[in-house]
Protein backbone atom coordinates (compact mmCIF):
# COMPACT_ATOMS: atom_id res chain seq x y z
CA UNK A 1 0.00 0.00 0.00
CA UNK A 2 2.71 2.38 1.02
CA UNK A 3 4.60 1.93 -2.22
CA UNK A 4 1.45 2.73 -4.18
CA UNK A 5 0.49 5.86 -2.30
CA UNK A 6 3.90 7.52 -2.68
CA UNK A 7 3.58 8.66 -6.31
CA UNK A 8 0.15 10.09 -5.56
CA UNK A 9 1.50 12.18 -2.72
CA UNK A 10 4.42 13.28 -4.87
CA UNK A 11 2.26 14.36 -7.78
CA UNK A 12 -0.13 16.15 -5.41
CA UNK A 13 2.84 18.01 -3.96
CA UNK A 14 3.89 19.05 -7.45
CA UNK A 15 0.41 20.24 -8.31
CA UNK A 16 0.31 22.28 -5.13
CA UNK A 17 3.79 23.65 -5.61
CA UNK A 18 3.41 24.86 -9.16
CA UNK A 19 0.89 27.68 -8.64
CA UNK A 20 2.62 28.84 -5.48
CA UNK A 21 6.01 29.18 -7.14
CA UNK A 22 4.44 30.94 -10.11
CA UNK A 23 2.75 33.49 -7.93
CA UNK A 24 5.97 34.07 -6.03
CA UNK A 25 7.87 34.69 -9.29
CA UNK A 26 5.25 37.11 -10.57
CA UNK A 27 5.05 39.02 -7.32
CA UNK A 28 8.81 39.28 -6.96
CA UNK A 29 9.29 40.83 -10.37
CA UNK A 30 7.57 44.01 -11.43
CA UNK A 31 10.00 44.70 -14.29
CA UNK A 32 7.82 43.24 -17.02
CA UNK A 33 4.21 42.91 -18.15
CA UNK A 34 3.01 40.50 -20.82
CA UNK A 35 0.85 42.25 -23.41
CA UNK A 36 -1.69 40.88 -25.85
CA UNK A 37 0.11 40.63 -29.22
CA UNK A 38 -3.24 41.18 -30.98
CA UNK A 39 -3.78 44.58 -29.32
CA UNK A 40 -4.06 47.08 -32.22
CA UNK A 41 -2.12 49.64 -30.15
CA UNK A 42 0.91 47.33 -30.47
CA UNK A 43 0.63 46.81 -34.23
CA UNK A 44 3.69 48.90 -35.10
CA UNK A 45 5.90 47.31 -32.42
CA UNK A 46 4.68 43.84 -33.37
CA UNK A 47 5.32 44.33 -37.07
CA UNK A 48 8.84 45.64 -36.53
CA UNK A 49 9.58 42.87 -34.01
CA UNK A 50 8.25 40.10 -36.23
CA UNK A 51 10.04 41.36 -39.34
CA UNK A 52 13.33 41.67 -37.50
CA UNK A 53 13.05 38.24 -35.90
CA UNK A 54 12.02 36.64 -39.22
CA UNK A 55 15.10 38.12 -40.82
CA UNK A 56 17.45 37.18 -37.97
CA UNK A 57 15.92 33.69 -37.70
CA UNK A 58 16.34 32.91 -41.37
CA UNK A 59 19.85 34.40 -41.27
CA UNK A 60 20.68 32.04 -38.36
CA UNK A 61 19.44 29.00 -40.29
CA UNK A 62 21.16 30.04 -43.54
CA UNK A 63 24.37 30.77 -41.64
CA UNK A 64 24.34 27.25 -40.14
CA UNK A 65 23.88 25.79 -43.64
CA UNK A 66 26.55 28.01 -45.16
CA UNK A 67 29.13 27.41 -42.45
CA UNK A 68 28.56 23.65 -42.37
CA UNK A 69 28.94 23.51 -46.16
CA UNK A 70 32.58 24.57 -45.85
CA UNK A 71 33.68 23.74 -42.29
CA UNK A 72 33.71 20.62 -40.16
CA UNK A 73 31.10 21.09 -37.39
CA UNK A 74 33.81 20.94 -34.71
CA UNK A 75 35.53 23.94 -36.36
CA UNK A 76 32.21 25.73 -36.79
CA UNK A 77 31.50 25.71 -33.04
CA UNK A 78 33.64 28.84 -32.67
CA UNK A 79 31.90 30.64 -35.54
CA UNK A 80 28.19 30.50 -34.63
CA UNK A 81 25.70 32.23 -34.21
CA UNK A 82 25.04 35.66 -35.74
CA UNK A 83 28.31 37.12 -34.48
CA UNK A 84 28.33 39.89 -37.11
CA UNK A 85 24.59 40.45 -37.22
CA UNK A 86 23.69 44.14 -37.50
CA UNK A 87 20.26 45.50 -36.65
CA UNK A 88 18.66 47.81 -39.20
CA UNK A 89 18.80 51.50 -38.31
CA UNK A 90 15.40 53.13 -37.64
CA UNK A 91 14.00 55.74 -39.98
CA UNK A 92 13.25 59.10 -38.29
CA UNK A 93 10.03 58.95 -36.26
CA UNK A 94 9.99 55.13 -36.28
CA UNK A 95 10.41 52.81 -33.27
CA UNK A 96 14.06 51.99 -32.63
CA UNK A 97 15.51 48.48 -32.46
CA UNK A 98 18.09 48.40 -29.70
CA UNK A 99 18.96 44.72 -29.28
CA UNK A 100 18.54 41.20 -30.50
CA UNK A 101 19.30 38.18 -28.36
CA UNK A 102 19.03 34.42 -28.36
CA UNK A 103 18.37 32.67 -25.10
CA UNK A 104 17.14 29.37 -23.73
CA UNK A 105 16.31 27.38 -20.60
CA UNK A 106 19.10 24.98 -21.64
CA UNK A 107 22.06 27.22 -22.31
CA UNK A 108 25.24 26.63 -24.19
CA UNK A 109 26.88 30.02 -23.67
CA UNK A 110 26.58 31.84 -20.34
CA UNK A 111 26.64 35.06 -22.41
CA UNK A 112 23.10 34.16 -23.54
CA UNK A 113 21.72 33.78 -20.00
CA UNK A 114 18.18 35.11 -19.65
CA UNK A 115 17.50 38.16 -17.48
CA UNK A 116 14.33 38.13 -15.39
CA UNK A 117 11.84 39.24 -18.10
CA UNK A 118 13.39 36.71 -20.51
CA UNK A 119 13.21 33.97 -17.91
CA UNK A 120 9.53 34.76 -17.41
CA UNK A 121 8.96 34.50 -21.18
CA UNK A 122 10.85 31.19 -21.40
CA UNK A 123 8.95 29.76 -18.44
CA UNK A 124 5.64 30.89 -19.90
CA UNK A 125 6.41 29.01 -23.12
CA UNK A 126 7.54 25.94 -21.21
CA UNK A 127 4.33 25.99 -19.15
CA UNK A 128 2.21 26.19 -22.29
CA UNK A 129 4.07 23.23 -23.73
CA UNK A 130 3.65 21.24 -20.53
CA UNK A 131 -0.07 22.01 -20.58
CA UNK A 132 -0.23 20.65 -24.14
CA UNK A 133 -1.15 24.06 -25.55
CA UNK A 134 1.61 24.07 -28.20
CA UNK A 135 4.27 26.71 -28.67
CA UNK A 136 2.97 30.30 -28.86
CA UNK A 137 3.86 32.09 -32.09
CA UNK A 138 4.85 35.31 -30.42
CA UNK A 139 5.13 36.98 -27.00
CA UNK A 140 5.26 40.70 -26.33
CA UNK A 141 6.32 42.32 -23.06
CA UNK A 142 6.66 45.86 -21.81
CA UNK A 143 9.86 45.97 -19.78
CA UNK A 144 10.92 48.62 -17.29
CA UNK A 145 14.39 47.87 -15.96
CA UNK A 146 15.81 50.24 -13.33
CA UNK A 147 17.67 53.15 -14.90
CA UNK A 148 16.76 52.19 -18.48
CA UNK A 149 14.16 53.58 -20.87
CA UNK A 150 10.88 51.67 -21.19
CA UNK A 151 11.26 49.00 -23.85
CA UNK A 152 9.08 46.52 -25.70
CA UNK A 153 10.32 42.99 -26.19
CA UNK A 154 9.08 40.73 -28.92
CA UNK A 155 9.87 37.01 -28.59
CA UNK A 156 9.62 34.19 -31.11
CA UNK A 157 10.24 30.56 -30.12
CA UNK A 158 12.89 28.66 -32.11
CA UNK A 159 12.63 25.00 -32.97
CA UNK A 160 15.38 22.45 -33.60
CA UNK A 161 15.90 21.47 -37.23
CA UNK A 162 17.84 18.55 -38.66
CA UNK A 163 20.85 20.77 -39.41
CA UNK A 164 21.10 21.78 -35.74
CA UNK A 165 21.73 18.23 -34.52
CA UNK A 166 25.47 18.15 -35.35
CA UNK A 167 25.95 20.47 -32.37
CA UNK A 168 22.70 20.29 -30.34
CA UNK A 169 21.62 16.68 -30.92
CA UNK A 170 21.95 13.60 -28.70
CA UNK A 171 25.45 13.42 -27.22
CA UNK A 172 26.37 10.18 -28.98
CA UNK A 173 25.21 11.56 -32.33
CA UNK A 174 27.12 14.87 -32.32
CA UNK A 175 29.43 15.36 -35.29
CA UNK A 176 33.02 14.15 -34.74
CA UNK A 177 35.04 16.45 -32.49
CA UNK A 178 32.06 18.60 -31.49
CA UNK A 179 31.83 17.18 -27.95
CA UNK A 180 35.53 17.99 -27.41
CA UNK A 181 35.19 21.50 -28.84
CA UNK A 182 32.17 22.12 -26.61
CA UNK A 183 33.98 20.85 -23.52
CA UNK A 184 36.77 23.34 -24.12
CA UNK A 185 34.70 26.36 -25.18
CA UNK A 186 31.48 25.83 -23.22
CA UNK A 187 32.27 23.70 -20.19
CA UNK A 188 28.80 24.26 -18.68
CA UNK A 189 26.97 23.41 -21.94
CA UNK A 190 23.40 22.14 -21.47
CA UNK A 191 22.29 22.60 -25.08
CA UNK A 192 22.62 19.01 -26.32
CA UNK A 193 20.25 16.03 -26.47
CA UNK A 194 17.66 17.91 -28.53
CA UNK A 195 15.53 16.14 -31.13
CA UNK A 196 14.23 17.60 -34.39
CA UNK A 197 11.09 19.64 -33.77
CA UNK A 198 11.81 20.29 -30.09
CA UNK A 199 11.62 23.80 -28.67
CA UNK A 200 15.17 25.15 -28.37
CA UNK A 201 14.75 28.70 -27.04
CA UNK A 202 13.78 32.15 -28.28
CA UNK A 203 14.96 35.01 -30.40
CA UNK A 204 13.94 38.33 -28.94
CA UNK A 205 14.25 41.92 -30.01
CA UNK A 206 13.99 45.05 -27.89
CA UNK A 207 12.31 48.14 -29.25
CA UNK A 208 12.11 51.72 -27.97
CA UNK A 209 9.41 54.23 -28.82
CA UNK A 210 10.25 56.72 -31.57
CA UNK A 211 12.18 59.74 -30.33
CA UNK A 212 9.77 62.62 -29.73
CA UNK A 213 10.58 65.88 -31.52
CA UNK A 214 11.65 68.52 -28.98
C1 LIG B 1 28.38 24.02 -35.58
C2 LIG B 1 27.68 23.91 -34.33
C3 LIG B 1 26.28 24.46 -34.19
C4 LIG B 1 25.18 24.21 -34.99
C5 LIG B 1 25.10 23.33 -36.22
C6 LIG B 1 24.08 24.91 -34.38
N7 LIG B 1 24.50 25.56 -33.25
FE8 LIG B 1 23.31 26.65 -31.97
N9 LIG B 1 24.93 27.11 -30.83
C10 LIG B 1 26.24 26.75 -31.15
C11 LIG B 1 27.15 27.47 -30.29
C12 LIG B 1 28.67 27.38 -30.32
C13 LIG B 1 26.36 28.29 -29.44
C14 LIG B 1 26.84 29.26 -28.35
C15 LIG B 1 27.39 30.51 -28.98
C16 LIG B 1 26.35 31.53 -29.33
O17 LIG B 1 25.72 31.43 -30.38
O18 LIG B 1 26.13 32.45 -28.55
C19 LIG B 1 24.97 28.04 -29.82
C20 LIG B 1 23.91 28.64 -29.22
C21 LIG B 1 22.60 28.55 -29.66
C22 LIG B 1 21.48 29.27 -29.10
C23 LIG B 1 21.56 30.31 -27.98
C24 LIG B 1 21.29 29.82 -26.60
C25 LIG B 1 22.44 29.09 -25.94
O26 LIG B 1 22.21 27.93 -25.63
O27 LIG B 1 23.53 29.67 -25.73
C28 LIG B 1 20.38 28.92 -29.82
C29 LIG B 1 18.96 29.42 -29.59
C30 LIG B 1 20.82 28.00 -30.84
N31 LIG B 1 22.17 27.78 -30.71
C32 LIG B 1 19.99 27.45 -31.80
C33 LIG B 1 20.45 26.70 -32.88
C34 LIG B 1 19.58 26.27 -33.97
C35 LIG B 1 18.08 26.55 -34.04
C36 LIG B 1 20.38 25.58 -34.84
C37 LIG B 1 19.97 24.97 -36.16
C38 LIG B 1 19.33 25.85 -37.12
C39 LIG B 1 21.72 25.57 -34.30
N40 LIG B 1 21.72 26.26 -33.11
C41 LIG B 1 22.80 24.94 -34.89
C42 LIG B 1 26.64 25.83 -32.10
C43 LIG B 1 25.84 25.32 -33.11
The answer to whether residue 191 is domain-embedded is yes
Give residue 213's pLDDT. 59
Give residue 203's pLDDT. 98
The answer to whether residue 27 is domain-embedded is no
The answer to whether residue 11 is domain-embedded is no
Phi, psi of 94 (to 5 degrees): -100, 155
**Domain span holding position 173:** 32-208
Residue nearest to ligand 1 atom 41, measured at CA: 164
User: Is residue 179 a contact partner of residue 170, using CB atoms and an 8 Å limit?
Assistant: no
The answer to whether residue 198 is domain-embedded is yes
From first to last of its 214 residues, what are the pLDDT tens digits of the chain? 333 333 333 333 333 333 334 443 444 467 999 999 999 999 999 999 999 999 999 999 999 999 999 999 999 999 999 999 999 888 888 899 999 999 999 999 999 999 999 999 999 999 999 999 988 999 999 999 989 999 999 999 999 999 999 999 999 999 999 999 999 999 999 999 999 999 999 999 999 987 665 5
The answer to whether residue 16 is domain-embedded is no
For the chain, the domain total comes to 1
Residue nearest to ligand 1 atom 43, measured at CA: 167
Give residue 8's pLDDT. 38
Give residue 115's pLDDT. 95
Residue nearest to ligand 1 atom 17, measured at CA: 81
The answer to whether residue 3 is domain-embedded is no
Q: CB under 8 Å, gap of 24 or more: what pairs does 86-95 form?
A: 87/52, 87/205, 88/52, 90/210, 93/210, 93/211, 94/48, 94/210, 95/44, 95/45, 95/48, 95/152, 95/207, 95/208, 95/209, 95/210
Give residue 91's pLDDT. 85
Give residue 90's pLDDT. 85
Kindly give the distance from the C-alpha atom of residue 148 to the centroid of ligand 1, in angstroms, as a whole number: 29
Binding pocket residue ranges, ligand 1, CB within 6 Å: 61, 64, 73, 76-77, 80-81, 102-104, 107-109, 111-112, 158, 160-161, 163-164, 166-168, 191, 200-201
Which atom of ligand 1 has the smallest separation from the CA of 166? 5
Phi, psi of 116 (to 5 degrees): -70, -40
Which atom of ligand 1 has the smallest separation from the CA of 111? 18
CA distance 201 to 158: 5
Residue nearest to ligand 1 atom 40, measured at CA: 164
Give residue 212's pLDDT. 63
Which atom of ligand 1 has the smallest separation from the CA of 190? 26
The answer to whether residue 128 is domain-embedded is yes
Give residue 98's pLDDT. 94
Give residue 214's pLDDT. 57
Give residue 211's pLDDT. 66
Give residue 7's pLDDT. 37
The answer to whether residue 214 is domain-embedded is no
Q: Where are the beta strands (DSSP E) in the chain?
A: 32-35, 96-103, 139-143, 151-159, 199-208
Amino acid sequence: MKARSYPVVLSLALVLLAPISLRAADAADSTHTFLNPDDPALAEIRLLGERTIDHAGSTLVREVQRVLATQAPAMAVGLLHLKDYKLPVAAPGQPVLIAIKRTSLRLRSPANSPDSPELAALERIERQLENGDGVPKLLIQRVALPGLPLEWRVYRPLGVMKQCLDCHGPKDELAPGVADALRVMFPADQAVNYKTGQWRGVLRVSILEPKKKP
